[in-house]
Amino acid sequence: MKIAVCIKRVPDSETRVKIAADGLSLDEAGVKFILNPYDEFAVEEALRRKEQAGTGEVMVLSLGPAAAQETIRTALAMGADRGVLLQADRVPADGLAVARALAAELKDGGFDLILCGKIAIDDSNHQVGPMVAELLGLPCVTAVSKLEIAGSTATAEREVEGGVEVVEFPLPAVITADKGLNEPRLPALKGIMAAKKKPLDVKPFQGAAAGIDVLKMTLPPERQAGKIVGEGAAAVPELVRLLREEAKVL
């Protein structure tokens, strides 16, 4: 089984981000970057599929700065076979520009399955996976929390509002991974050492004109301190009044 996984280098969710002087990007100084957690589910699923099939290849593909090689090597340390980096100084804000570059790289790869995370935790766009599928003319199932493959047909479960949707689709296909799909493995120390010797191709990103530009980035306003209205039952009328008149939530 030949599988491709699209991954992204993102700031660690534990990081306190600062906005750079240009007002358009993050200040990367002192920021720890990680493999996007949803992409981690995608990598894990690809590895399990390959292990289950007993044969095949897992290729990881990323668009990002030179430092994204480290992110690719994280996936290689987990067990992926090879990596490709489409190197760009800055990842385009336009998901379509990213999807076009990824799709062009994946087009002739002969992949049975293409996996992505359902969302990148930095820009939260949810775009790239479905766009890649569309550009390649493949079926796309998003936010998959369970996947079963039998021959060239796959069944996936998606958690939808209030229930579970079960879908069937032919391979090749693009799926985007949701939490619950699996529990990603930690890269073993031998895997980390082996990753250094696995092939990692770096190619320049050839981007088309962007349809979307970022105009401004701002941090959310600081949260105001709460108000203690009083204590005991006597405070309830005042609390209700404030919720109704000031907070306007009742």
Partner 1 sequence: MASRFQGVDFYDMDGLLSEEERAVRDTVRDWVDAELMPVIAEHYLAGKFPKALVPRMAELGFFGANLPEEYGCAGLNNVAYGLIMQELERGDSGVRSFASVQGALVMYPIYAFGSEDQKKSYLPRLASGELIGCFGLTEPDYGSNPGGMITVAKETADGWVLNGAKMWITNGSTAQVAIVWAKTAGLDDIASIRGFIVPTDAKGFTAKDQKGKLSLRASDTSELVLEDVRVPKDALLPRSGGLKSPLMCLTQARYGIAWGAIGAAMACYDEAVSYAKNRVMFGRPIGGFQIQQVRLAEMLTEITKAQLLCLQLGRLKDRGTATPQQVSLAKRNNVDMATECAREARRLLGANGILAEYQSMRHMANLESVYTYEGTHDVHSLILGQEITGISAFS
Which of 84-96 are b and which e, b meaning 16 or more Cβ less than 10 Å from the residue's Cβ? bbbbbeebbbbbb
Q: Does 66 engage in binding with partner 1 (CB under 8 A)? A: no
Q: Does 37 engage in binding with partner 1 (CB under 8 A)? A: yes
Under a CB-based contact definition with an 8 Å cutoff, are residues 25 and 90 in contact?
A: yes
Binds partner 1 by CB under 8 A, chosen from 47, 63, 77, 177: 77
Q: Looking at residue 179, what DSSP letter applies?
A: T
The residue with tokens 């079963």 is 148
Q: Provide the minimum distance between the beta carbon of 35 and partner 1 in the complex, in angstroms, as a whole number.
A: 11
- Name 104's Cβ contacts closer than 8 Å, sequence gap at least 6: none
Q: Does 56 engage in binding with partner 1 (CB under 8 A)? A: no
Q: Provide the minimum distance between the beta carbon of 192 and partner 1 in the complex, in angstroms, as a whole number.
A: 5
Q: Does 216 engage in binding with partner 1 (CB under 8 A)? A: no
Site for partner 1 in 147-206 (CB under 8 A): 179, 186-190, 192-193, 196
Q: Does 231 engage in binding with partner 1 (CB under 8 A)? A: no
Dihedral through CA 33, CA 205, CA 87, CA 40, nearest 10? 40
Q: Does 74 engage in binding with partner 1 (CB under 8 A)? A: yes
Binds partner 1 by CB under 8 A, chosen from 23, 27, 32, 148: 32
Q: Provide the minimum distance between the beta carbon of 188 and partner 1 in the complex, in angstroms, as a whole number.
A: 5
d(CA 191, CA 215): 42
CB-nearer residue toward partner 1: 8 or 73:
73
3-class DSSP assignment, residue 45: helix
- Name 108's Cβ contacts closer than 8 Å, sequence gap at least 6: none
Q: Give the number of residues in contact with partner 1, rule: CB under 8 A.
A: 19
Q: Provide the minimum distance between the beta carbon of 48 and partner 1 in the complex, in angstroms, as a whole number.
A: 16
Sign of CA dihedral 138, 178, 72, 20: positive
Pairing of strands 163-170, 33-35: unpaired
Q: Does 13 engage in binding with partner 1 (CB under 8 A)? A: yes
Would you tell me which residues interact with partner 1 (CB under 8 A)?
12-14, 30, 32, 37, 70, 73-74, 77, 179, 186-190, 192-193, 196
